[in-house]
């Protein structure tokens, strides 16, 4: 009886804001992975290479030399100085400042928490990174997804049609998770200039900026000086567990985010920040070349059996389901010891699925063989 009473009390304590979304479906797939024996796991959204040795050495040295306490909320000076120099060289905006945060997820939390009021509308593009929709709701905002199907291209006319007097933010991600598509520079320019004209906050999630295969990475901040850019070290240097990222944008907004960070994350882990200082000097070009080859390998292996928009970046492919629902197709894949992610985790549509090619060539070859085998019902 007491147990039931306690359970009822606990249920009543749970905040309403947490009830509008479920836990990430990706975590459920990860749970399945633990139950399979040596699965062909093409579901994981992190690099399959290790942290560079020089970066590890900097991390270890920071720990051993006692750099384990709180850092400044805005990040350690050597890291901010390097980042600021790079940002100034790339954009040249007089009013652009940077601070260090706990992962790009932390950067997104701080950005949306600092800008969005209850009822403000946030436009983003479907398919989308799993956090966007739920985080907007958690902060009291109203998600306004715009479908980018079938070619996953940004369309200014769709944005214009979605804007209302409550629109506060446009959130975009290029290269994209889950599609791997890089936005066309002309489309980015059009949206950046439109947001500036309308006074809408533009936020650009650029965590995959180093993984671009066919041209240089392009940021909408080139055309809109008020763009907030979120980037980090997790993907480029395999530092996913070290939780170091950064946000740059107009000084007034950055100062507000710092104020919020003081009372939430406090600071990014100090030893990891010293590792990030070293990471900025590490040349990722050979690793990017390897991932370009893996992308080409996957496209060549699957193009005759799946409809695929060729990705220009990140390390994902987002093929169209060849038959059935996402649940049915993923169940067939699991029966064949293959783990991929159903597309409806990233979308309001259930028409595609995500493959991560951040895996060994051997695993990719096995994955291609399985996917070709299950391409027909």
Note the pLDDT of residue 14: 83
Q: What is the mean pLDDT of the chain?
A: 93
What CATH number does the domain located at 67-279 have? Answer: 3.40.640.10
- What secondary structure, in 3-state letters, does the chain show? CHHHHHHHHHHHHCCHHHCCCCCCHHHHHHHHHHHCCCCEECCCCCCCCCCCHHHHHHHHHHHHCCCCCCCCCCCCHHHHHHHHHHHHHHHCCCCEEEEEECHHHHHHHHHHHHHCCCCCEEEEEECCCCHHHHHHHHCCCEEEEEECCCCCCCCHHHHHHHCCCCEEEEEEECCCCCCCCCCCHHHHHHHHHHHHHHCCEEEEECCCCCCECCCCCCCHHHCCCCCEEEEECCCCCCCCCCCCEEEEEEHHHHHHHHHHHHCCCCCCCHHHHHHHHHHCCCCCHHHHHHHHHHHHHHHHHHCCCCCCCCCCECCEECCECCCCCHHHHHHHHHHCCEECEEHHHCCCCCCEEEEECCCCHHHHHHHHHHHHHCCCC
pLDDT of residue 44: 87
Instruction: Look at residue 377 in the predicted model and tell me its pLDDT.
Output: 87
User: Which pLDDT score, from 0 to 100, does residue 204 have?
Assistant: 98
Confidence (pLDDT) at 213? 96
Q: Name the nearest CA neighbour of 315 among 34, 42, 127.
A: 42
Nearest of 40, 124, 24 to residue 344 by alpha carbon: 24
In the chain, where are the structural domains located? 2-51+284-373, 67-279
The two domains 2-51+284-373 and 67-279 share their CATH topology (first three levels equal): no
pLDDT at position 27 over 70: no
- Of 120, 108, 106, nearest in space to 200 by CA: 120
Say whether pLDDT at 30 is over 70: no
Q: Is the pLDDT of residue 357 over 80?
A: yes
Inform me whether the pLDDT recorded for 118 exceeds 80. yes
Between CA 38 and CA 315 the distance in angstroms is 21
Res. 6: pLDDT tops 60: no
* Percentage above 70 pLDDT, the chain: 94
pLDDT band at 340 (very low <50, low <70, confident <90, very high): very high
Q: Which residues are CB-contacts of 233 (< 8 A; sequence separation ≥ 6)?
A: 239, 242, 244, 245, 276, 279
Question: Topology of domain 2-51+284-373, per CATH?
Answer: 3.90.1150
- Token digits of residue 194: 């439109």
Highest mean pLDDT among 16-30, 83-97, 201-215: 201-215
What local confidence, expressed as pLDDT, does residue 229 receive? 98
Q: Rounded to an integer, what distance in angstroms lies between the CA atom of residue 234 and that of residue 358?
A: 13
| Per-residue pLDDT, 45 | 86
- How confident is the model at residue 3, as a pLDDT? 57
pTM: 0.92
At residue 362, does pLDDT exceed 90?
yes
pLDDT of residue 65: 97
- Cα dihedral 285/289/295/300 (nearest 10): 160
pLDDT tier at 35, thresholds 50, 70, 90: confident
Query: Is a pLDDT exceeding 90 seen at residue 346?
Result: yes
pLDDT at residue 28 greater than cutoff 80:
no
**pLDDT for residue 242 is more than 90:** yes
Please answer whether residues 282 and 52 qualify as being in contact, where contact means their C-beta atoms are separated by less than 8 angstroms.
yes
pLDDT tens per residue across span 37-75: 888 999 988 899 999 999 999 999 999 999 999 999 999
Alpha-carbon separation of residue 205 from 18, 170, 320, 353, 375 (angstroms): 24, 11, 24, 21, 33
pLDDT tens profile 272-330: 999 999 999 999 999 999 999 999 999 999 999 999 999 999 999 999 999 999 989 99
Beta strand pairing call for 316-317 and 353-356: antiparallel
| 239 in Cβ contact with 46 (< 8 Å) | no
Which tens digit of pLDDT belongs to each residue from 255-283? 999 999 999 999 999 999 999 999 999 99
Cα 161–Cα 167–Cα 173 angle in degrees, nearest 5: 80
């Amino acid at each position: 009886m007491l147990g039931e009473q306690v359970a009822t009390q606990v249920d009543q304590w749970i905040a309403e804001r947490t009830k509008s979304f479920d836990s990430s479906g990706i975590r459920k797939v990860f749970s399945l992975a633990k139950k399979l024996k040596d699965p062909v796991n093409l579901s994981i959204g992190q690099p399959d290479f290790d942290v560079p040795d020089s970066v590890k050495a900097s991390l270890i040295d920071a720990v051993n030399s006692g750099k384990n306490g709180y850092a400044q909320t805005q990040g350690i000076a050597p890291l901010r100085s390097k980042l600021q120099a790079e940002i100034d060289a790339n954009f040249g905006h007089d009013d652009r400042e940077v601070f260090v945060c706990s992962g790009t997820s932390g950067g997104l939390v701080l950005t949306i928490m600092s800008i969005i009021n209850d009822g403000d509308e946030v436009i983003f593009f479907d398919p989308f990174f799993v956090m966007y929709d739920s985080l907007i709701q958690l902060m009291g905002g109203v998600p306004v997804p715009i479908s980018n199907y079938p070619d996953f291209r940004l369309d200014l006319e769709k944005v214009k049609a979605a804007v209302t007097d409550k629109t506060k933010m446009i959130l975009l991600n290029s290269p994209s998770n889950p599609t791997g598509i890089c936005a066309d520079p002309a489309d980015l320019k059009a949206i950046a200039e439109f947001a500036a004209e309308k006074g809408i906050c533009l936020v650009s999630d650029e965590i995959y900026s180093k993984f671009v295969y066919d041209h240089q990475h392009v940021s909408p901040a080139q055309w809109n000086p008020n763009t907030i850019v979120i980037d980090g070290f997790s993907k480029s240097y395999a530092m996913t567990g070290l939780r170091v990222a950064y946000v740059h944008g107009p000084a007034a907004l950055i100062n507000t985010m710092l104020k919020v960070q003081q009372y939430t994350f406090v600071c990014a882990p100090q030893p990891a920040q010293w590792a990030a200082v070293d990471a900025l000097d590490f040349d990722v070009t050979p690793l990017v070349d390897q991932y370009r080859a893996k992308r080409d390998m996957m496209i060549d292996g699957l193009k005759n059996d799946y409809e695929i928009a060729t990705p220009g970046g990140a390390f994902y492919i987002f093929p169209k389901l060849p038959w059935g629902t996402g649940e049915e197709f993923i169940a067939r894949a699991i029966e064949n010891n293959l783990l991929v992610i159903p597309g409806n985790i990233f979308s309001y549509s259930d028409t595609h699925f995500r493959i991560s090619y951040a895996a060994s060539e051997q695993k990719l070859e096995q994955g291609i063989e399985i996917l070709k085998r299950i391409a027909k019902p």
